[in-house]
Amino acid sequence: MSKNAVSIRSLVQGGAGLGMREDGKLLFVEGALPGETVSYHLAAEKSSWAQAVVDEILEPSPQRVAPRCPFYDECGGCNLMHLSEDSQAEEKQRLFIDAMERTGGIPRDSLVLEPPASATGWEYRSRSAFHVDERLRQAGFLGRRSRSLVPLPSCPVLVSELSEVLAGRDERLWKAARKVKESLARISVFAGDADISYGKIPVVATVDGIPFHVSAQVFFQSNRLLMPSLIRFVLSHVKGERVMDLYAGVGVFSAFLEREGHTVIAVEKEPDCLELARLNAPRTRFHTAATEKWHPSMSEKVDTVVVDPPRTGLAPSVPALIASWKPERVIYVSCDSVTLARDLRKFLSEGYSPTIAQVFDLYPQTSHYEAAVVLDRMGELDRMGKSRSSRA
């Protein structure tokens, strides 16, 4: 093997291939797949690890495919288009298991792991943020290894309505860019049922029969094709009648919980989200607060708590706060398995054990994915056993 060649052991969070140099230094190789041998050049080097980029595939993986997008090597929008669709979901499940074991200390055999959920990997994304040069009438994404604009005539992962916007066929894009008054404007867009939202202007997006008021300014799942599968997972594992929805956003889980007949209490700190959430889930009692600063005086028991925090995970005090309410079950929805695993370790110390999990490949062609985990309140004997295991 030549000095600049390496065998790839696995993928890591973020999509790079993991290898090891002859001197023992770990290599994170962009564009490499498990089982491959590649030549590379270094992009950055630290004392115990280095980042590298593939130069040539010397021994390709059978799961390697030709990227469908002609701009894939330049554009920073996708980073796993060279891996077959079936393998993407499998690799993301493996990454989830790895995070649970390494960061959370949760053995694979302690979880009932449902098969990963996936849908089509093309024309699925209804929400995005374009970078726009209004003077040159160009729109696209930033480059894979630069902060420069990569102009795109279309994008194979966007729904057709957003590809039309990307191609410059909607004057509202250029109008929005002019208002930003920067040479390279970042414009958020969301494709609803019948129109496109730019910024704070809301549109209606229907999911599994429920119309949601949504704007491009707030978070809403970009993959509406697979979104019902995630919602069904949450609904099917709710225990009891009273449910608390933390980090409620625009009220997606609250609206479906309402429809199932649950009494819902929701907490969300962002005013823009709350304004829309009250339209989307009118029977839910919403509270304006950051979850970690909200201390309810509850006269009735809460049976299940649903949490769907941002990528950074829960604030340090939140697992103990939730445990103090003594719900029978917690359902944690996460877009970052490492922070999820960190928080699950805290829940374990508070007497809640993860029991069931599922991975959702909501972002095909990228290394991102979501996962949902069910945690159940342990009895005293279970807690003592878990405590001994964690000290072993």
Domain presence at residue 69: no
Full DSSP string of 311-349: TT-S-TTHHHHHHHT--SEEEEEES-HHHHHHHHHHHHH
Q: Residue 366 has what DSSP assignment?
A: S
**Are both 152 and 55 inside the same structural domain?**
no
Contact criterion met (CB below 8 Å) for 245 and 257: yes
Question: Does residue 369 lie within any of the structural domains?
Answer: yes
**Is 351 in the same domain as 258?**
yes
Q: What is the DSSP string of 3-63?
A: TTEEEEEEE-TTSPEEEE-TTS-EEEEET--TT-EEEEEEEEE-SSEEEEEEEEEEE--TT
| 336/382 same-domain check | yes
H/E element, 91? helix 85-102
Is residue 73 in a domain?
A: no
How many separate domains does the chain show?
3
Q: For residue 26, count CB atoms less than 10 angstroms from its CB and return exposed for 0-12, middle for 13-18, buried for 19 or more.
A: middle
- Burial class, 56, CB count within 10 angstroms (exposed 0-12 / middle 13-18 / buried 19+): exposed
C-alpha angle 187/191/193, rounded to 5°? Answer: 155
Are 320 and 262 contained in the same domain?
yes
Nearest to 93 by CA among 375, 362, 358, 332: 358
Task: State the Cα angle at 363 between 316 and 57, rounded to 5°.
Answer: 110
Binding residues, as ranges, are 221, 247, 268, 308
Specify the amino acid at residue 216. Answer: A
Identify whether residues 32 and 95 lie together within a single domain.
Answer: no
Residues 275 and 238 in one domain: yes
Structure token digits, residue 376: 């159940």
Residue 296 lies in a domain: yes
Give the global pTM. Answer: 0.94
75 counts as catalytic: no
Annotated binding site for S-adenosyl-L-methionine: 221, 247, 268, 308
Per-residue pLDDT of the chain (392 residues; tens, 9 = 90+): 456 999 999 999 999 999 999 899 999 999 999 999 999 999 999 999 999 999 999 999 999 999 999 999 999 999 999 999 999 999 999 999 999 999 999 999 999 999 999 999 999 999 999 999 999 999 999 999 888 999 999 999 999 999 999 999 999 999 999 999 889 999 999 999 999 999 899 999 999 999 999 999 999 999 999 999 999 999 999 999 999 999 999 999 999 999 999 999 999 999 999 999 999 999 999 999 999 988 766 556 899 999 999 999 999 999 999 999 999 999 999 999 999 999 999 999 999 999 999 999 999 999 999 999 999 999 854 654 555 455 44
Q: Residue 74 domain-assigned?
A: no
- Compute the CA torsion angle 218, 224, 226, 230 (nearest 10 deg): 40
Residue 318 lies in a domain: yes
Inside any domain, residue 253 = yes
Q: What is the residue range of 51's domain? A: 5-63
Q: What is the CATH number of the domain that holds 99?
A: 3.40.50.150
Helix axes 227-237, 252-259, angle to 10 degrees: 60
Residues 246 and 359 in one domain: yes
Task: Note the Cα 170 to chain centre separation in Å.
Answer: 29
Q: 275 and 141: one domain?
A: no
Kind and range of the H or E element at 271? Answer: helix 271-280
Considering the domain architecture, whether residues 336 and 229 belong to the same structural domain is answered as: yes
CATH number of the domain that residue 9 is part of: 2.40.50.140
Give the strand pairing for 263-268 and 285-288. Answer: parallel
Q: Which of 231, 208, 249 shows the shortest CA–CA distance to 117?
A: 231
Distance of CA 135 to CAs 41, 166, 177, 188, 342, Å?
A: 36, 15, 9, 18, 46
Q: Pick the last residue of a domain from 162, 188, 214.
A: 214
- 243 in the same domain as 98: yes
Cα–Cα–Cα angle for 108, 355, 330, rounded to 5 degrees: 135
Q: Are residues 58 and 95 in the same domain?
A: no
Q: Is there a single domain that holds both residue 379 and residue 233?
A: yes
330 domain-assigned: yes
